[in-house]
Amino acid sequence: MPRAKSDKDRKIFVLDTSVILYAHNSIMNFAEHDVVIPITVLEELDQFKKGNDTKNFEAREFIRLLDKLSRDQMIHEWTPLNGKTKGNFKVLMNPDNKINANVIFGEEKNDHKILNAALYLKENEKNRKVILVSKDINLRLKAKSLEILAEDYETGKIKNITELENTGKYVLEDVDPDHINTLYEVGFIEAKSVLGTRKRKANAYYILKSNKNSVLTYYNSDENVLERVDKKLAYNIKPKNAEQTFALHAITNPNIRLVSIQGVAGTGKTLLALAGALEQRRDYKQIYLARPIVPLSNKDIGYLPGDIKSKLNPYMEPLWDNLKFIQNQYKETDKEYQKITEMVNQEKLVIQPLAYIRGRSLSNIFFIVDEAQNLTPHEIKTIISRAGENTKIVFTGDVHQIDTPYLDSQSNGMSYLIDRVKDHPLYAHIKLEKGERSELANLANELL
């Protein structure tokens, strides 16, 4: 991008702490425009620099980046960002303003100090557009109430989430009945004869319909054929609809090493992933089932009473519920029932918070990550990058049910994953649409 012609054309972006914790290199993503970091942001980052969570990593990396960029210059003065097409940055000390956000909102807090930094720049840089960038919706609203332009951090944000969700499954009407008969008789058919000149995506699933019959199929890009997909049991769990059938096929297909399953509550995401993993237990050394901990009211779990097991039980209970449901498909005397108990006792099947697994080497592991919509893009990348030989990773979640304050349906890690790796031969994505938990649960999803 060419550099703007004058200072007037170059905007000033004021970054909030939430942006830095989301992406430490965000300071480099504002083209030729200038970036201001309020000193309050550095003070907040200092509190985040210790720890093993992703936010701690981002804080440390940003501090290192700032140190590298400033070299021997004073950071309270404009300092060039690397590259001819980049602007400058500086750290703004707490200014004295005519308009004080602490007074206006009746409380002295860091968010208001950041607003004061934006107010100061707006007053003293009258010829330039000043924009506060924050992933905190409430802070953006407060900024707008003070007539400060405010935006979300848009880099990496998915534009059309609805279209993205539906990638992976397609319905074709008016298919030649003879083609469908061939699929039932032979089990596969040349893709070109059915799909024609349509663009073919690796590991896509198709529902083929004619005026006489229909069939579920899977596009095998290696062989360039459509293969028939049948409903199959996985540890006595049977798919109840076409999408669940496709999801279980992807989970149990050894050629697909990365799967994402999107769906609202009750569609069977975690249940299918766990049942498919148990069905393949002989192919992997261990099964890991993990989920991120989203603390209540954004407080650390240390605030909860009891020992570490007591603190974590409320977060892990939904995973145990799915395991118990699968186990209860059998009698207590059945070997399948006893096998699950044995796997848990011998730690062949491990249910843990994601933080306990992050950083470990994942070789010969079937790894299920539940509630993946509450992960950042960096966390998703970190998890996948740990995969060793013979490891399969299944992410499940609902991109519209975000429980963390600085993510949304367009910026969370699961949406990022679907967007970046769609059409890769190692990856498949399925959206589960119909709730199968109960009619009562469907009532809640549809009417409430």
Q: What is the 3-state secondary structure (H, E, C) of 233-268?
A: CECCECCCCHHHHHHHHHHHCCCCCEEEEEECCCCC
- Rounded alpha-carbon distances, angstroms, from residue 226 to 42, 184, 327, 429: 55, 12, 34, 17
**Is residue 175 classed as helix, strand or coil in its secondary structure?**
coil
In the prediction, which pLDDT does 312 show? 59
Phi-psi sector, 390: left (phi>0), alpha (psi -120 to 50), beta: left
What CATH homologous superfamily does 247-445 map to? Answer: P-loop containing nucleotide triphosphate hydrolases (3.40.50.300)
From CA 68, how far away is CA 64, in angstroms rounded?
6
pTM to 2 decimal places: 0.84
**Under 8 Å between Cβ of 389 and 364:** yes
Q: Does the CA dihedral 67-68-71-74 come out positive or negative?
A: negative
Question: How much is the pLDDT for 303?
Answer: 43
Q: Are 364 and 285 in contact (CB under 8 A)?
A: yes
Q: Given this model, what pLDDT does residue 223 score?
A: 93
Backbone angles phi, psi at 148, to 5 degrees: -100, 130
Sketch the domain layout of the chain as residue ranges: 10-150, 157-229, 247-445
Provide the residue-wise pLDDT of the chain in tens; the chain has 448 residues: 344 456 678 999 999 999 999 999 999 999 899 999 999 999 999 999 988 778 888 999 999 999 998 887 888 999 988 766 789 999 999 888 888 999 999 999 999 999 999 999 999 998 999 999 999 999 999 999 999 999 999 887 888 787 777 788 999 999 999 999 999 999 999 999 999 988 888 999 999 999 989 999 999 999 999 999 999 999 999 999 999 999 999 999 999 999 999 998 889 999 999 999 999 999 999 999 988 876 443 444 444 445 445 555 666 788 888 999 999 999 999 999 999 999 999 999 988 888 777 677 889 999 999 999 999 998 899 899 989 999 999 999 999 999 888 888 899 999 999 999 988 999 999 999 877 666 776 677 677 6
Give the contacts of 287 (CB within 8 A, at least 6 positions apart).
274, 277, 278, 281, 343, 348, 349, 350, 365, 366, 367, 368
The dihedrals phi and psi of 353, each to the nearest 5 degrees, come to: -65, 150
- End-to-end alpha carbon distance in the chain: 47
Beta-strand pair 34-38/12-15: parallel
- Which residues, listed in sequence order, are joined to residue 132 by a DSSP beta bridge? 14, 150
Residue 58 structure tokens:
């981002």
Of 42, 26, 120, 122, give the one whose Cα is nearest residue 81: 26
Sheet arrangement for strand 188-190: 169-172, 205-209, 214-220, 225-228, 188-190
For residue 16, the SS3 value is: coil
**What pLDDT is recorded for position 220?**
95
Confidence at residue 6, expressed as pLDDT on a 0 to 100 scale: 64
The DSSP element (H or E) to which 188 belongs, if any, is strand 188-190
Contacts 24+ apart (CB under 8 A), 403-408: 403/294, 403/371, 403/374, 404/294, 404/374, 405/18, 405/135, 405/136, 405/298, 406/18, 406/21, 406/22, 406/135, 406/136, 407/135, 407/373, 407/374, 407/376, 408/152
Three-state SS at 305: coil
What CA–CA distances, in Å, run from 282 to 333, 364, 418? 21, 11, 29
Residue 123 to residues 40, 98, 118, Cα–Cα distance (Å): 19, 9, 9
Which CATH code is given to the segment(s) 10-150? 3.40.50.1010
Tokens of 399: 């991109």
